[in-house]
Structure 1
Amino acid sequence: MKFIAIDGLDGSGKDTQINLLAEAYKKQGKNVVVRSHPCNDNRYGRKSKEALLKTGKINHLKATIYFGLDAIRSVRKYSHDDSIDVLIFSRYVLAVMYLPDVVNMIVYKIVCFVLPTSDCMFFLDVSPEESLRRIGSRHEDTEMFENMGSLIKVRNKSKKFTYNWNVVDGDKSVEEISSQIISKCLDSD
């Protein structure tokens, strides 16, 4: 099974890119499963999303912990299914950026040791300004991290976590980003 992860700030285009990538693999006749976290098909994902729509430190912690449980659940449920050719995750381990600085790198290294990784893990590095523009056009409830201050802080933090990711300029057009991701993934098959 080919494992692919696409991560990035809110508004970076993760879901758009996983859907385009999934279509490219489906055209090749591959059985593709896409998991976009937090997922609404299980209690961990729903609790994470619920906490993201609130404010405060306790909800910040709840959102991160439930997100982690949601992603782990997806890995356990889908990564050993022999009928799946390609497993694509939107948001994966970089949620650890939202943990306090004291523990986030430790948790990240543990998570990367325990959970699957591959050479097809992409971080869409979108500017906070572009991220906010895209978030505003979605017409959805705003989450706790979807403000300029949080986006700047998290983007700056991301630099210490993305050393083993393919970093893609998230401000580019959908087509340019898709071309870069698809060619990297298909070349590594």
Structure 2
Amino acid sequence: MRLIIVDGLDGVGKDTHGRLIAEYYKDNGEQVILRSHPAVDNYFGRKAKEALLHPGKMNKIKASVFYMLDVLRSIRKYYHPNKKGTLIMVRYLMGTAYLPRKIVRFGYSFFEHFVPISPYMFFLDAPSEEILKRIRERAEHEIFETYDALEKVRKKAMLLLNNWYVIDTSGSVDDTFAAICLILEELDNQ
């Protein structure tokens, strides 16, 4: 089973590009499972989402912990390495970048030992100003959606990006997806 990771900060188009990648493989006749976290179809995802909507340090930690449990649940339930098809995980390891700075590397390394790592790992990125402009168009706002919070999380995420394809999403959706498709084709042909 091909495992594709689509990650990044809020407002960079993770869900949009996850859906486009799913369509890309479905159009080629493949079975595709698309999981976006936090998922509202289970306890861990609902608790993560709930914590994201409330301020405070404890809610940040709760959101990160429940988010990780949600991802672990999805891996256990949907990832079968010996089966055919594609599993696309939107939001995966980079949720650890939202942890306090002192434990972000530890959190990433710890979590990395419990989930499969894939050559298909995409970190979608854009300048914080662009991200904030996109986020302001949403009806619902989460605790990390301020300029200062985005800058802090982005800096922490950049420390963790070994073996990730970093994709600039500040252009159009079509341009971004074209860049992703080039990498998908290259990886699929290896």
Shorter chain as denominator, the TM-score bin is over 0.9
1:45 is aligned to 2:40:
no
Question: How many correspondences in the alignment?
Answer: 188
> How far does residue 100 in structure 1 lie from its aligned partner after superposition?
1.6
Match of 2:27 in 1: 27
Match of 2:63 in 1: 63
- Percent sequence identity over aligned pairs: 44
Q: Counterparts in 2 of 1:85-96, with a 5 A limit?
A: 85-96=85-96
Q: For the residues of structure 2 that align with 1:46 and 1:74, how far apart are their CA atoms?
A: 14
Q: For the residues of structure 2 that align with 1:187 and 1:7, how far apart are their CA atoms?
A: 20
Contact 2:36 2:89 in 1 (8 A): yes
Contact 1:5 1:121 in 2 (8 A): yes
* Alpha-carbon displacement from aligned partner over 1:20-44 (angstroms, at most 9, x marks no partner): 1110100000000000000000010
* Alpha-carbon displacement from aligned partner over 1:89-132 (angstroms, at most 9, x marks no partner): 11001111111222211121122232111111011111111111
Specify the code of the residue in structure 1 equivalent to 2:147: M
Specify the code of the residue in structure 2 equivalent to 1:130: E
Match of 1:137 in 2: 137
Specify the code of the residue in structure 2 equivalent to 1:119: P
* Alpha-carbon displacement from aligned partner over 1:42-81 (angstroms, at most 9, x marks no partner): 0100110001000001111110100000000000001127
Q: Which moved more, 1:100-109 or 1:8-17?
A: 100-109
Runs of at least 5 residues in structure 1 that lack an aligned partner in the other structure: none
Q: Counterparts in 2 of 1:102-181, with a 5 A limit?
A: 102-138=102-138, 140-181=139-180
> How far does residue 83 in structure 1 lie from its aligned partner after superposition?
5.6
1:182 is aligned to 2:189:
no
Q: For the residues of structure 2 that align with 1:148 and 1:119, how far apart are their CA atoms?
A: 31
Partner SS state of residue 22, structure 1:
helix
Partner SS state of residue 92, structure 2:
coil
Match of 2:6 in 1: 6
Q: Which moved more, 1:22-31 or 1:83-92?
A: 83-92
Contact 1:78 1:87 in 2 (8 A): yes
CA pair 84-136 structure 1, distance change in 2 beyond 3 A: farther
Contact 2:4 2:118 in 1 (8 A): yes
Contact 1:123 1:168 in 2 (8 A): yes
Contact 1:124 1:167 in 2 (8 A): yes
Q: For the residues of structure 1 that align with 2:85 and 2:182, how far apart are their CA atoms?
A: 17
Question: Normalized against structure 1, the TM-score is what?
Answer: 0.95
Partner SS state of residue 133, structure 1:
helix
